Amino acid sequence: MAGYVLHLSTEENITLSSATVKRLIAGGSGDAALLYLAILHARGAADSGKLARELKWDETRLRAAEQALYEMKLVGAPEKKEEAPLPPPQQLSEPPEYTREDIARKLEGDGRFACLLREVEHKLGPLSTPSVKKLLGLYENLGLPADVVYTLVNYCIAKKEQQFGEGRLPNMREIEKEGYVWARKELFSIEKASEYMKREQSLRGRYPEYMAALQMQGRASAPSEEKYLSAWAEMGFPADTVSEAYDRTILHCHEFRWPYCNGILKRWHEKGLHTLAEVRAENAREQSKPKKNTTGGNAWMKEYLNQ
């Protein structure tokens, strides 16, 4: 027998060759097999949208099945449908007051947002109406494409787990806050978002060293502390220079104060001093100068403490 005959009706037969059936079985993908049958039933003339509607699949599932068939060499390469990058908003404003009806219309009329919501809820659990409004604001008001929003959510999840341990999830308010950062930085494509995340991961890798330099090892840094740690990493300070700033803070304040330590490091950065050797060489030069009788020696620190 050359192949198999599928009796779809009393009037219509579709033949599958034995080789094709073997490939479908070896591929092990039920979705791929269903898609192949749907393509045959349409005589190869159905577009992706029509096939997705007929199979009641979302775009992600359809693309996965298409890719599986391509790997089985049963169809040509799947057509790559890239989202057109949206232009960055001219200004970042508070999201509009979305209503339940707005959300319902968006879910009904925008398959990408509907798919995004499903995937986000798979990660975070069911979202409340206010949380769905925040998600819609990221997508519609800030103009972040669906794949970028999904990447943002995963980034925030990883960041939360790194801070507080596995199983701790961010809320949508935290994700929204980070989304505004991404919009300000114009991260409107996966490529730009990936570059940003890679750089942030590199900077965050220095946080434990800084915490140890501040005698705070053994615990995760708090978000309020990370604004300082991030700035120091951005400025390029090694841990031993941060340790020196810590010692000077304790010497002057008799306790550790984040703003004071930050002021010391900002002053060194503005003078181009980053390594401990550079700081100590500058300190030696200052000490070798004739002493001046002034009362405004700490004016620089007051400036930083007031920022």
Q: How many CA atoms lie within 13 A of 14 on its CB side?
A: 15
- The C-alpha atoms of residue 306 and residue 18 are separated, in whole angstroms, by 79
CA gap 256, 247 in Å, rounded: 9
Does residue 22 contact residue 33 with C-beta atoms inside 8 Å? Answer: no
Reference 266, options 297, 289, 294, 241; nearest CA is 241
| pTM beyond 0.85 | no
Q: Per-domain residue ranges for the chain? A: 3-71, 100-204, 212-305
User: What's residue 22's pLDDT?
Assistant: 83
Residue 279 φ/ψ, nearest 5 degrees: -65, -45
Residue 255 has a pLDDT of 94
Percent of the chain with pLDDT over 70: 81
Q: How confident is the model at residue 76 (pLDDT cuts 50, 70, 90)?
A: low
Best-predicted range by mean pLDDT among 15-19, 74-78, 217-221? 217-221
DSSP letters, the chain, are --EEEEESSSS-EEEEEHHHHHHHHHHT-HHHHHHHHHHHHTTT---HHHHHHHHT--HHHHHHHHHHHHHTTSS-PPPP-PPPPPPPPSS--PPP---HHHHHHHHHH-HHHHHHHHHHHHHH-SPPHHHHHHHHIIIIIS---HHHHHHHHHHHHHHHHHHH-TT----HHHHHHHHHHHHHTT--SHHHHHHHHHHHHHHHTTHHHHHHHTT-TTSPPPHHHHHHHHHHHHHT--HHHHHHHHHHHHHHHSS--HHHHHHHHHHHHHTT--SHHHHHHHHHHHHHSPP---S-TTHHHHHHHT-
The string of pLDDT tens digits covering residues 167-213 is 889 999 999 999 999 999 999 999 999 999 999 989 999 999 999 99
| Per-residue pLDDT, 131 | 94
Please, what is the end-to-end C-alpha distance for the chain in angstroms? 84
CB atoms closer than 10 angstroms to residue 183: 20
Q: Nearest-5° angle of CA 56, CA 58, CA 62?
A: 90
